[in-house]
Amino acid sequence: MASEVLTVEPLYHGPDINRIPLRSQPAPKPANPPKPLVPSKSKLTTIEAKRIMSVLDETIYKVELVTLLSYVASNPEAMEGMLGEGIMTAIRQHEDLCELLLETTHRLQERERQLQEEEETEEEGWLRDRRFSLRLQKASLLPLMQQVRDSTKDSLRLLLSSPQASSFLQMQTQGRSAEAQSFIDSLIELRGFLFEKLLTSPMEAREKAQFIQDVSRRNRRNQEMIDILENELAVGMKRRKAEKKYKVETEVENWIQKYDTEMSEKQEEYEDLEVIHKEEKAQLEELRRKHDVLVEEFAQIRTEREINSKKRMEAEQEMVRMARAATLIQAVWKGYLVRSMLRSKKKKRSKAKGKDKEKAKGKGRGKGKGKK
């Protein structure tokens, strides 16, 4: 029953109504389809053929309108002015029924899944009651499904009664879902096949069947030839691989011999170089020992030179200090001598002045006595 419910889902796009994916998908097209025989006629001549094509064209036209009902319901503000209140009311009622059908279907599918999970743990009697209740609920979907069909017919009837509204709705192709468009493309492809079929006369049909048989027979012969050629190719490839393998083995053997010869020569050269290396290594060790001795002697000489240089600098500094001290002593001594000479001269002068004063005083005294 669940599978029957899935087959009645709407073929148009919408936010909630199109939650169940479509089951009907177009058959994949071959990469390179064979070109059919072209019919001799290009127009339908019989009234029956015209009626068949008219019914199919009308069906495609109605499907194009039905697949846009959900778009109209999801955009009521933009569509109500163009479609009218009556059509919009019918479409809203149809959408409500579709949503109810989808919700009921999903609920029943969830309960059926839970029942399948509980089959291994629950008792048989209880499961039998649950299955019977689930079948009754599925049977209750039939009236709801019929209501959805009737609401679809009512909405379509109102649209067909208003050519202006139908033309306007048919132009809203952007609101159609990809699945619905794929279904319409399949119907259009079916129309092309049917139109070609109706154009083909019985004689042309027999010729086409004969042509297909000839093509099939030719294809079988070609396939047999391909199988023979593939077998021959496999044998040739096997033989070629055996010859390529022998050649490779021969080349590998030659390369191995060449490698052995070159490695022997390289080994001898390596041994000669090893002897030379040992001799040069011994010479290098001897030179290193001599170098270490020379370095040690040079370090001692440099140390002695540094000590002698330091002593010489200290002696020179001491000489400079002594020279400065001698110069200072000489200068002090010379100053002392000069000051001593100046003091002695000063004393002599003061003594001479004293004598002169005493002489002068004596003369004065003598003059004073004479006057008396």
Look up residue 132 and give its two tokens: 């019977």
pLDDT at 30: 42
Residue 4 has pLDDT above 60, yes or no: no
Confidence (pTM): 0.40
Residues 323 and 178: their CA atoms lie apart, in Å, by 118
263, burial (CB in 10 Å: exposed 0-12, middle 13-18, buried 19+): exposed
Between 16 and 213, whose confidence is greater? 213
Range 117-121 average pLDDT: 63
29, burial (CB in 10 Å: exposed 0-12, middle 13-18, buried 19+): exposed
Q: What is the DSSP string of 51-101?
A: HHHHHHHHHHHHHHHHTTHHHHHH-HHHHHHHH-HHHHHHHHHHHHHHHHH
Measured distance between the N- and C-terminal CA atoms of the chain, rounded to whole angstroms: 190
State pLDDT tens for residues 271-323.
999 999 999 999 999 999 998 998 898 899 989 989 988 888 988 898 888 88
